[in-house]
Structure 1
Amino acid sequence: MKFGKSVCIINVGGTKYAFPKDVIKDFPLRRVSRLHSCASEREVLEVCDDYDRERNEFFFDRHSEAFGFIMLYVKYGKLRFVPHMCELSFYNEMIYWGLESSHLEFCCQRRLDERMSDTYTHFTEEHHKTANEISRTDEPSNGKRDSKWLERMRRTFEEPTSSLAAQILASVSVIFVIVSMVILCASTLPDWNTAESNMVEEHRYTDSLEHPSGIIEAVCIGWFTAECIVRFIVSRDKCEFVRHPLNIIDLLAITPYYISVTMTVLTGENSQLQRAGVTLRVLRMMRIFWVIKLARHFLGLQTLGLTLKRCYREMVMLLVFICVAMAIFGALAQLLEHGLDLESGNEEYASIPAACWWVIISMTTVGYGDMYPITVPGRVLGGLCVVSGIVLLALPITFIYHSFVQCYHELKLRSARCTQSLSAEFLN
């Protein structure tokens, strides 16, 4: 901020807060911290609603009481809902100031999830503009804007719903993923292997890449490689692109093919290739990661990934429940079925790890029937194990469900905002 006094006054709905200019720079609220990077009053007015140069006062026409609770979060690190205020209205205020639902306390997150699952959340056009402004401020502003065609290319490859070209590109990518998966699955069929062996015998001097399956595989890999390279070139932040989980999965799906081709070229059709056969088969099976590429184009898979990311605590808690139950029921089952009578006991329960396998298939109500208790106490224990498994697995399901609904709404709104912004640019 290259203007005004050293003390900034934030006026939110009539309630004033005074901060030093240095504090504004690293303020936890993104909308307030954006004031520090403003170089003119015009840029300031894009962030706030009004500005008084003499007093160096920034006015925001927002809910003052809600901002008071947000300031308590800035001061103490705990964010809760304002009493007698709609949860969705307070959530809109959070989005305006640059906060997310993850900043709320756990009890308030539950309230918000329940409310959002009952009512579809509609954000006003003002909030849509706010989110777009925040996303633009996250871009590196070094005075050099990306050209318009580069931004359009980026949206075409990163946002499948942004334009007709993006939808066509996404459809072609999905087709290549499906074709590659069909080839991968078919290559494990006995008839396929027999036909391929006969073809190799008839064309022993022909490289394996000249076979129809090898050609299709090479074309698919070529498409995925070109797509990944173009997306890397048009990305805003190259380091962030490399760290993105979906891009890491793309790399894991593409790299094994080039490694296997390199090993084939270096070793040739000899005994060394046979010794490396297990490695090649493992690398070949890593192509199954291509299925995860569908997450770029389907909202459901994105919702699943975001839900797992936000509910990792509940997932860990569920695994802890299962592990504790496995230890308890496994030890008791081994004792009742084998430990009390070593001579005529059930040999399938000869060890606790073997009994733990029976516990896990019983708690999940799979019941393969490969091992089962034969004593009366063991059967009673088996019934308790099944009932306990049903209860333990059902405990965190409600929270995971509400998180899934919330993530779905957020991603759907984000997709709608991208479509609206693209339409506005097209009309302009």
Structure 2
Amino acid sequence: MIALFVLALVFASWAPRVPQIKTDLRLGDGRLGLALLGAPVGAVLTLWLVGLAVSRFGSVRVVRAALPSYCAVGALFPLVAGQWSLFALLFLWGATSSGLDIAANAQAIGVERGYGRPIMATAHAAWTAGALSGAGIGTVAAALAVPVGAQFAVLGGIGLAVALPATWWMLPDPAGPMAEASGERSGAQPAAGWSAPAAVAEQSRARGRRRWSARFAALCAVSFGSFLCEGVAADWSAVYLAEVTGAAAGVAGAGFVAFTVCMFAVRLVGDRAMAQYGPPRTVRGCTAVAGVGFAGALAVGTLSFGSAAGVIGFGALGVGTACVAPAVFSTAGRLGESAGTSIAVVSTVGYTGWLAGPPVVGGLAELVGLHRALTIVLLLLATIAAFAPALRSPRADPAADERVSGPPATDTGGPETDVGRPGTDVGRPGTP
């Protein structure tokens, strides 16, 4: 959680400094927009490599490698002299941030397994708290005209000093999550004379792989919709409030603040809700709140109280997306053989949604106006709700019960011990 807090703290302090950097480098809107693509492009292009690194070396080693690099990149801002050097620096920053992000989430999934109950929402609440803190620090630093390089050098140094010692208390990654949960050993082979049961087991494994593939595609759809909604809130909330509802400049930024605060508040209680009601029901309930609140805000957007309704609507959107990313990461990390690789896949699709948000909404706004264009958020929320059943906690591999590694037991009087077999608690959601 400390690593996620530092990740958000440092990067969120960058946003309030963008206007000053734009002025210092004499960049127009178009050139600045291209330069700002460096961070997301760097993150997306390195997510797969990070997933492989986590699989190969473990989440703890990757966190220890990525954390110093990430905290040090910001101190290089004094070397930026133009559009492309800014792009290069942000590319490097995005790459190191993706390393820290994926590895820290993989570590959180390992901790969640150890606890035997959901903790991902709380971990992501730490990220949200870091983002709020970083944005506030960046705003104060901008008001005091603190040099950008000095700001990031200090923040990076503090973040490194706090987070790096905490890595010594991180847990080693479990090997082969689904295999170990089902009692499978990668080197086990069926004993001679048992070819028929082995064939049945292989068929069952094939069916299981098809089910996981379909479920993973659903998780990617949920991730895409959630990240795109977050991108809409970040990029278009202020524009909507200013241009559609007529909000003053000081009020227009309140939409994203409401979104972030509500997301933080829901994440604080999200783990308890998912433990009690399950991730699918929790996510569907939250998306229902978001759908009603955001639809209502759009419906009254041109009225005299449209600005207040808009702030409430974006706050409701924060409620709707608060538990989605934690639930997606937690579920994805339990599906594959490597939590890092699985998280990298859903993160890549999610970041694609984040990148697609601005041009998609902007293109629709050119055609039908921003007010109507934002109805795409309601479609995204409906998509998340439709695929929410994919967020249920994975059970152990159903093929485990059909694997044969020796002659069948003849003693039928002993207690049932097969992991994941119906009637047992082991492998069920919410149990150790």
TM-score bracket relative to the smaller structure = under 0.3
The structure in which a higher percent of residues are strand is 1
The structure in which a higher percent of residues are helix is 2
Superposition TM-score, scaled by structure 1 size? 0.25
Higher RCO (CA-CA < 8 Å; seq separation 6+): 2
